Chain A
Amino acid sequence: MDLNLFFSQLLNGLSSGAIYASLALAIVLIFRTTGILNFAQGEMALFSTYVTWWLADQGLSIGLAIAISVAVSFVGGAVIERVVIRPFEKASPLVIVIATLGLFLALNSLTQVVFGTDAKQLGSAFPDTVWDVWGLRIEAQTIGILVVLGLECVALWVLFQRTRIGLALRAVADNPEASRLLGVRVGTMLMFGWGLSAALGSLAGAMVVPTTQALTASSLQSVLVFAFAAAALGGFDSPLGAVVAGLIVGIARALTIQYIEPLNNIELVVPFAIILVVLLVKPAGLFGSTQVERV
């Protein structure tokens, strides 16, 4: 077996896995604070990525474009919570799922209406340097994506474990009614959670598009599928799970493409087979917490 080839596929897997992990983090963040599975997460990220593209197209540097887009997405996410999701606050989870599916379609169409249907090119935020380490090609892009994921993790950890607003977010996730009565503005916290999640999605979009051919209205759909897979594998309520499982899914996919020829183009199968097995053994996911209900 060609070790070099193996390791370069491993790196490929890590870098796409890091992107799945970013979006999976966004999904987990919303699930933890609101108990909602947001199917529109990918299309929110899509719209954000188009905003990034537009800003870059106006002549802004790509780094600045991403920064502004992250801020815009934060506000957009908060607005979506307030305007689209809040009215269903007391509705059944099924209704809310349908609302997020509606949001998925609406955002996808809105993106095409606003930005047009032709494919766009979005440059990478990272230099196209390639290092040669003992014959192994390591792209700056790969390292950059992993560093961004690392920074996201640290920032989220500090936010949730070390700040008052993070504490309030966790309290709201745990028991919104009690939080409200203790003086926490639950609605504001939910807006904050959605904003944060949209900002993460914006980053994920800006990372993934330069690694693909072009930016189109379907650019983030397969990413969303893998991110959902990662969130399920890691446990929908576990940020750590999202990151680890995102990387696992990425690596499994890359190795499948390389080594299992009959599954080429249907490489989706392998990560999902892994997930199926894991969920059969551990239904709450690798890191998810098991719900114990008193009867």
Chain B
Amino acid sequence: MALLEVDGVGLEFGGIRALDDLEFTVEAGEICALIGPNGAGKTTLFNCVSRVYTPQRGSIRFDGRELLTLPPHRVARAGVGRTFQNLALFPALTVLQNVMVGAYSRGRGGAWSDALRLPGVARRERRLAREGSELLERLSLDHLGDQPASDLPYGTLKRIEIARALASQPRLLLLDEPAAGLTHSEVEELGGTIRQIRDDFELTVLLVEHHMPLVMSISDRVVVLDLGRKLAEGTADAVSQDPQVIAAYLGAEL
């Protein structure tokens, strides 16, 4: 069974049809890229999966479980982590603290019981900090742990966001334009990092990306969206030869 099943999802904003009967699946363990021209609905779909938006129609199942009935704060606990197109780090917190917030969803019990169970707090806190440090090390960020997560280079901030998403120990990682704004060499490094974390953490990765060389080099499968619909699906090579895809990107008449 597929890990993520997007099934007949439709979402309209006023008269704009952002997603139109969208249907595709992501298999466990694969790196799947979601591509398409601007406005195709890629980030909109991400926002449906992480419950920022609620589609009017359809179903999104994760490991067989309906996500659309979960409140947003439960999605992370269900095993879906994500990064954002425009970075959404906490600039007032340190790099390590940012990653520790990522681990928040794994805590047992609610915030109230957490506030009352004082004796264990210090121990739990140390464990979280240790796990956070380990993650930073994995992403070669360990020297930055105590720095505030502002004013760091853009590429570094993007890695921090990935570390934060990993802290929730997700099974599915959604990466929204991880390569945007990175330099050429950073993009190459990023490709390696994504593969590495997929293997190390036994993740499934769904990414939205415009950077075609990156998509071509790391994706097991590519899903092409246009105007909220699935236009094509297949290996990177097959998709890039597809005349419909070329037309959508270049706007050529068929």
Residues of A within 8 A of B (CB): 162-165, 167-168, 170-171, 173-175, 177-186, 188-189, 192, 289
Contacting chain A: which of B23-31, B74-82, B223-231? B74-82
Q: Give the Cβ gap from A93 to chain B, nearest Cβ, in Å.
A: 20
- Whether B105 contacts A182 by the Cβ 8 Å rule is yes
Given contacts A180-B72, A181-B75, A185-B111, contact A164 B125 (CB under 8 A): yes
- Whether A182 contacts B168 by the Cβ 8 Å rule is yes
Q: Give the Cβ gap from A50 to chain B, nearest Cβ, in Å.
A: 26
Q: Give the Cβ gap from A145 to chain B, nearest Cβ, in Å.
A: 26
- Could you tell me the dominant secondary structure of chain A's interface residues? helix
* Cβ contact of B84, chosen from A174, A178, A184, A186, cutoff 8 A: A178
Given contacts A165-B115, A171-B93, contact A184 B105 (CB under 8 A): yes
Q: Once the chains are docked, how many angstroms separate the CA of A177 from the CA of B110? A: 19
Given contacts A165-B114, A174-B90, contact A182 B52 (CB under 8 A): no
- Whether B164 contacts A182 by the Cβ 8 Å rule is yes
- Whether A174 contacts B93 by the Cβ 8 Å rule is yes
20 contacts between A and B (CB under 8 A): A163-B121, A164-B121, A168-B111, A170-B92, A170-B93, A171-B104, A174-B92, A177-B88, A178-B84, A179-B101, A180-B72, A181-B52, A181-B82, A182-B164, A183-B105, A183-B168, A185-B73, A185-B110, A185-B111, A189-B111
Q: Is B91 engaged at the interface, CB distance under 8 Å to the other chain?
A: yes
Q: Once the chains are docked, how many angstroms separate the CA of A193 from the CA of B97? A: 19
Residues of B within 8 A of A (CB): 50-52, 72-77, 82, 84, 88-93, 97, 100-102, 104-107, 110-112, 114-115, 121-122, 124-125, 128, 164, 168
Given contacts A164-B104, A164-B128, A186-B73, contact A174 B112 (CB under 8 A): no
- Whether B92 contacts A192 by the Cβ 8 Å rule is no
Residue of A nearest to B122 (CB): A162
Q: Once the chains are docked, how many angstroms separate the CA of A179 from the CA of B76? A: 10
- Whether A183 contacts B73 by the Cβ 8 Å rule is yes
Residues on A with C-beta less than 8 A from B73 are 180-181, 183-186
Q: Give the Cβ gap from B21 to chain A, nearest Cβ, in Å.
A: 26
Q: Once the chains are docked, how many angstroms separate the CA of A170 from the CA of B75? A: 21
Q: Once the chains are docked, how many angstroms separate the CA of A162 from the CA of B124? A: 10
- Whether A183 contacts B104 by the Cβ 8 Å rule is yes
Q: Once the chains are docked, how many angstroms separate the CA of A259 from the CA of B134? A: 60
Residues on A with C-beta less than 8 A from B90 are 170-171, 174-175, 178-179
Q: Give the Cβ gap from B231 to chain A, nearest Cβ, in Å.
A: 28
* 3 nearest CB pairs, A to B: A183-B105, A183-B76, A178-B88
Q: Once the chains are docked, how many angstroms separate the CA of A164 from the CA of B122? A: 9
Q: Once the chains are docked, how many angstroms separate the CA of A164 from the CA of B82? A: 21
Q: Once the chains are docked, how many angstroms separate the CA of A175 from the CA of B93? A: 11
Given contacts A167-B97, A167-B100, A181-B82, contact A188 B72 (CB under 8 A): no
Q: Once the chains are docked, how many angstroms separate the CA of A119 from the CA of B91? A: 48
Q: Once the chains are docked, how many angstroms separate the CA of A21 from the CA of B102? A: 33
Residue of A nearest to B124 (CB): A164
- Whether B111 contacts A181 by the Cβ 8 Å rule is no
Residues on A with C-beta less than 8 A from B164 are 182
Q: Once the chains are docked, how many angstroms separate the CA of A170 from the CA of B90? A: 9
